[in-house]
Amino acid sequence: MMRQYELVERVKRYNPRADEDLLNRAYVYAMKAHGSQKRASGDPYFSHPLEVAAILTELRVDDETIAAAMLHDTIEDTETTRTDIESRFGADIATLVEGLTKIKKLDLVSKKAAQAENLRKMLLAVAEDARVLLVKLADRLHNMRTLHYVPPDKRARIAEETLEIYAPLAGRIGMQEMREELEDICFHVLMPDAATMVMQRLDAFRSRSGPIIAFIENDLREKLAANGIQGDVKGREKRPYSIWRKMERKSVSFEQLPDILGFRVMVGNIPDCYRVLGIVHNAWPFVPGRFKDYISTPKQNDYRSIHTTVVGPKHQRVELQIRTQAMDEIAEYGIAAHALYKDQTVAERDAVLGKEARAYNWLRRTIETLAEGDNPEEFLEHTKLELFHDQVFCFTPKGLLITLPRGASPIDFAYAVHTDVGNHAVGCRINGRNAPLTSELRNGDEVEILTSEAQVPPPAWESLVVTGKARSSIRRATREAVRKQFAGLGRRIIERAFERMGKPQTEEKLASVVPRLARPSLEDVYAAVGRGELHSGDVVKAVFPDFKEETPKTAAGPNGAGWFGVQGADEVKFKVPGQEGAGGALPIRGLSDDLPVRFAPGGGPVPGERIVGILTSGEGITIYPIQSPSLSAFDEEPWRWLDVRWDVEEGERRRYPARLVVSVINEPGSLAEVARVMAETDANIDNIEMRAKTKDFREMLFDIEVWNIKHLTTIMTDLKAKPMIANVERVLG
Ligand code: MN
């Protein structure tokens, strides 16, 4: 087991500013916490977190991560709590250890959905602090290295999970060494026959070609020296699992494999990389189609290198990677090297970016590359990470990860953040730019939702969202908004009913009769009256049981003089039964009113003309022009009639629909003439329909939009003034 000072020395070697005291305290604390616990191997349990920390020193991570690695199993396996860790080591390390505890039980579950959920959990933990992933991978690597101590029946399951999730994850964030080691261990556990076969073939290859690696290494070194290039050369055989996977993918035999041997040439600068390429291509024939320049076009995970394959000195295909030392560092340690130790120390980087920004940027890039890498097929081919294919990963401005199904919009995002945010969303910014709420979100998008307290989600959103949460929340909010509208209407109707009857009305009295009206709450009573399901007279009677409702049915009915006075006379107000004057009329602002209002279909009223409201069960109020012929249908139901008036402000620029039938003399240019008048008078034509046609006349129906009754009258007058127009009539719904 590694000694305390050895570990500290290892860290100090690459990070001279590391907090020695922190490392020592973490070492001692973890050792004591695990006490006499043992591993399956019989070793003291503490050897495991210590080895994990040691692996991480190879990745050259910061001292906090090393400390967290030593502590990573304490909350899960000992009496230690988060609070203990926080008081001793600070909030950052406590968060790291807690994050690792949360994902400890990330088990391979047979169900895809459950697995996706586990992955999501892990990503969330990683999102809090990206260093969690580094410790988790190191933890897994050590567990895999010691997997032979685990009972055989458990090995396969752990290996499967590693091969499907952790190995690709390591590779994707650029930690190729770790990926390959994980894969090879899994290969031997899961496919022992295939692994044995590949190993045997590799042996045969070695005995056939002798010490070929050393031979080529020397050859390359001599060539570099001869050209005055400073550099280093490393050769190796490809890993068994990678060989096997290529055999599978390309359906080739071991003998046909293009490149069992791989060499890496590391030089001081980029021009030297291209010089080496020239030297190599000069010395040996290169294999066409195998050349890739990742220096001019780096991979998404920052991998940079030149790749080529040549036919080497012993007629073996040899793969070459040519890159600078700095590029090699990133290729070896992945984003760990890049993000944590590029040119600065952690402390310097934190000072510039802030700790959060560092972890967050790192994760953000990781997740982007996860799902949108340069070659997702290759990456996903043998991995369960294809689960990510159906998902997009987005972020709040604070860096909180929000996972959504593909096709999700900012509306879905808003509801995923919080129902209130969704309900009040009015706009959004994606990556700092204003964008429609209906945009399709993409991986890595940073989404900021703009809200307004006054906003209610439009019902149409329901068909635009893809998440169940958003859909049900919108439905609930819409239902609630509609119910509120009906309740508001019902409340006014009831108030006026009491007024009309000359009876005093209070909320308390009404509340006391709610059970008698068989409604769960007063709000429901209001809504029922507003919806026309409950008659306001019945509510009055419930409060005053001896009350006899007057039904002042006049001979003329609601449309007659007894009800509305002389039609057409400006000063005449219309009334509802039993009510004098129009002082208490419901103000109507149009379709965006806070009341459930709609205009009579097929020729509604326009501001300035007198209107009446008809309470329609389940629909609220329908507004008719007072001359509408449809109104006679409601003559027998006086309680459905409502006194309404326009509440349109002077100068309000808003158009209302009206319908005209225009008869024109059938001659060329007549339609154009009508259209010209419409244009001149600023009528907005919505629709034109040919209604009837005789030899002499055409009858056309126009749906137009006008400002008010004055505007409509002007249009009609101007039309009538044209010689070719025989007649103009308004259609009323
Ligand atoms: Mn562990």
Catalytic annotation present for 76: yes
| CA 39–ligand 1 middle distance (angstroms) | 10
Catalytic annotation present for 77: yes
- The candidate with the shortest Cα–Cα distance to 71, out of 38, 128, 24, is 24
Helix (H) or strand (E) holding 78: none
Binned at pLDDT 50, 70 and 90, residue 334 comes out as low
| CA 73–ligand 1 middle distance (angstroms) | 5
Q: What is the pLDDT of residues 496-518, one digit of tens each?
A: 778 877 778 788 888 888 888 88
Same domain, 318 and 439: no
Same domain, 310 and 405: no
Same domain, 186 and 199: no
Specify whether the CB–CB gap between 223 and 283 falls below 8 A: yes
| CA 395–ligand 1 middle distance (angstroms) | 29
Alpha helix positions (H), 424-535: 468-501, 507-512, 522-531
Average pLDDT of the segment spanning 190-219: 85
Q: Both ends of the chain: CA-CA distance in Å?
A: 91
In a domain, 75, yes or no: yes
Domain end marker among 162, 190, 218: 190
* CA distance to 265, 579, 585, 611, 627, per residue, from 565 (Å): 102, 13, 17, 14, 12
Active-site entry in 58, 76, 232, 356: 76
Helix (H) or strand (E) holding 448: strand 447-451
Binned at pLDDT 50, 70 and 90, residue 569 comes out as very low
- Please state the domain count of the chain: 6
Give the residue numbers spanning the domain of 727.
656-731
Same domain, 199 and 183: no
In a domain, 32, yes or no: yes
In a domain, 368, yes or no: no
Instruction: Rank 488-492, 617-621, 644-648 by mean pLDDT and report only the highest.
Output: 488-492
Average pLDDT of the segment spanning 385-410: 71
| CA 4–ligand 1 middle distance (angstroms) | 19
In a domain, 378, yes or no: no
The 3-state secondary structure of 510-524 reads: HHHCCCCCCCCCHHH
| CA 134–ligand 1 middle distance (angstroms) | 12
| CA 72–ligand 1 middle distance (angstroms) | 6
Q: What is the pLDDT of residue 343?
A: 42
Q: What is the pLDDT of residue 390?
A: 61
Domain end marker among 306, 337, 368: 337
In a domain, 471, yes or no: no
Same domain, 88 and 172: yes
CA–CA separation, 141 and 58 (whole Å): 13
Whether 20 shows a pLDDT value over 90: the answer reads yes
Same domain, 163 and 202: no
Global pTM reads: 0.50
| CA 178–ligand 1 middle distance (angstroms) | 16
| Residue 702 buriedness (CB in 10 A; 0-12 / 13-18 / 19+) | buried
| CA 48–ligand 1 middle distance (angstroms) | 7
Same domain, 498 and 635: no
Same domain, 37 and 152: yes
| CA 487–ligand 1 middle distance (angstroms) | 59
Q: What is the CATH number of the domain that holds 700?
A: 3.30.70.260
Domain end marker among 457, 492, 511: 457
Active-site entry in 77, 329, 619, 718: 77
In a domain, 542, yes or no: no
Q: Which residue has the tokens 């984003």?
A: 335
Binned at pLDDT 50, 70 and 90, residue 126 comes out as low
Q: What is the pLDDT of residues 57-86, one digit of tens each?
A: 988 788 899 999 999 999 988 989 999 999
In a domain, 377, yes or no: no
Give the number of residues written for the chain. 733
Q: Which residue has the higher pLDDT, 334 or 266?
A: 266
Same domain, 596 and 661: no
Same domain, 428 and 491: no
- The candidate with the shortest Cα–Cα distance to 142, out of 214, 55, 270, 76, is 55
Specify whether the CB–CB gap between 366 and 359 falls below 8 A: no
- The candidate with the shortest Cα–Cα distance to 206, out of 260, 262, 264, 287, is 260
In a domain, 281, yes or no: yes
Q: What is the CATH number of the domain that holds 437?
A: 3.10.20.30
Average pLDDT of the segment spanning 457-476: 84
Q: What is the CATH number of the domain that holds 278?
A: 3.30.460.10
Same domain, 127 and 246: no
Q: Count CB neighbours of 56 within 10 A.
A: 26
Q: Can you tell me whether residue 154 is helix, strand or coil?
A: helix
Q: What is the pLDDT of residues 515-552, one digit of tens each?
A: 888 888 888 888 888 777 788 888 888 888 877 655 54
| CA 549–ligand 1 middle distance (angstroms) | 80
Tokens of 493: 């109707």
| CA 154–ligand 1 middle distance (angstroms) | 16
Same domain, 185 and 45: yes
* CA distance to 217, 487, 514, 520, 591, per residue, from 527 (Å): 86, 4, 12, 11, 19
